């Protein structure tokens, strides 16, 4: 495990811990405020969704971790680390502040602006890592089960990865422009005024 990898995991876990704590605090506040558990889901669902998504990150960590040196020492991994740490720190801090209804505008601005560079950076990094992982997955038959077997089904992780690559390319324009639309909606002068009026 490289020093960079350990630092990433430390940061990741500190943030996630803080995040989960904020969900817990929001839940307690809601209960104290309303006296019953009816609205807990509504109060915490957005954060919960975020942290469920973060669970997927864990899977990626594990999957990439298996493939060790060739991907971890690649520029792809550096790109992923940089893009994800910056994005996720800002994103989780943003949601934490939202729970407390005191989000500073600079945070909102960064969350809806940095993606312009970080998203393509992250996608490039992930594609590099997948490509580098391919020969290792193929030779080690990682996550693959073949025929014959009693259930007459086979699975080959190698081909799944190959299949994922074009999906990244196909869906990138849609997702990227969706984020621009979100940015326009959130950072437009009308909604900014609404936000400051709400304080």
Partner 1 sequence: MGLSVEVEDARSGRIIANVDRLQSHATIADVKARIAEKHSKYYVERISLRLDKKGKSLKDNEQLQNLGIDGKLYFKDLGPQIGWSTVFLAEYAGPLFIYLLFYIRPEIIYGAGAADKPMDQVVKYAAACHSFHYAKRLLETIFVHRFSNSTMPIRNLFKNCTYYWGFAAFMAYFINHPLYTAPSAQQTKFALIAFLICEFGNFSIHILLKNLRPPGTRDRKIPMPDANPMTLLYHFVSCPNYTYEVGAWISFGIMTQCLAVMIFMFCGLAQMTIWAQGKHRRYKSEFKAYPRGRTAIIPYII
Tell me how far apart the alpha carbons of residues 65 and 15 are, in angstroms, rounded to a whole number: 20
119 is catalytic: yes
Using CB under 8 A as the binding rule, whether residue 151 contacts partner 1 is answered as: yes
Using CB under 8 A as the binding rule, whether residue 196 contacts partner 1 is answered as: no
Residue closer to partner 1 (CB basis): 151 or 196: 151
Closest CA to 95 of 11, 42, 26: 26
Using CB under 8 A as the binding rule, whether residue 147 contacts partner 1 is answered as: yes
Residue closer to partner 1 (CB basis): 52 or 149: 149
Q: How far is the CB of 155 from partner 1 (least distance, A)?
A: 10
Looking at 53, 154, 182, 191, which residue binds partner 1 (CB under 8 A)? Answer: 154
159 is catalytic: no
| CB-neighbour burial class of residue 111 (10 A; exposed 0-12, middle 13-18, buried 19+) | buried
Looking at 55, 102, 153, 170, which residue binds partner 1 (CB under 8 A)? Answer: 153
Q: Which of 119, 143, 168, 176 is catalytic?
A: 119
Looking at 32, 101, 150, 198, which residue binds partner 1 (CB under 8 A)? Answer: 150
Closest CA to 99 of 180, 179, 191, 18: 18
Q: Which residues are catalytic?
A: 119, 126
């Amino acid at each position: 495990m490289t020093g960079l990898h350990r630092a990433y995991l430390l940061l990741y876990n500190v943030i996630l811990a803080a995040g989960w704590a904020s969900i817990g605090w929001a839940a307690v506040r809601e209960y104290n405020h309303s006296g019953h558990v009816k609205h807990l889901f509504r109060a915490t669902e957005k954060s919960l969704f975020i942290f469920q998504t973060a669970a997927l990150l864990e899977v990626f960590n594990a999957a990439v971790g298996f493939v060790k040196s060739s991907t971890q020492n690649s520029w792809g991994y550096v790109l992923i680390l940089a893009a994800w740490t910056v994005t996720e720190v800002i994103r989780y801090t943003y949601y934490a502040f939202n729970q407390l209804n005191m989000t500073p505008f600079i945070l909102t601005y960064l969350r809806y602006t940095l993606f312009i560079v970080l998203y393509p950076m992250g996608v490039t990094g992930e594609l590099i890592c997948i490509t580098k992982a391919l020969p290792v997955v193929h030779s080690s038959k990682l996550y693959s089960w073949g025929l014959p077997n009693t259930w007459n089904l086979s699975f080959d992780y190698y081909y799944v990865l190959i299949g994922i690559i074009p999906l990244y390319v196909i869906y990138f324009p849609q997702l990227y422009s969706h984020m621009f639309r979100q940015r326009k909606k959130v950072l437009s002068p009308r909604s900014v005024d609404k936000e400051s009026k709400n304080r």
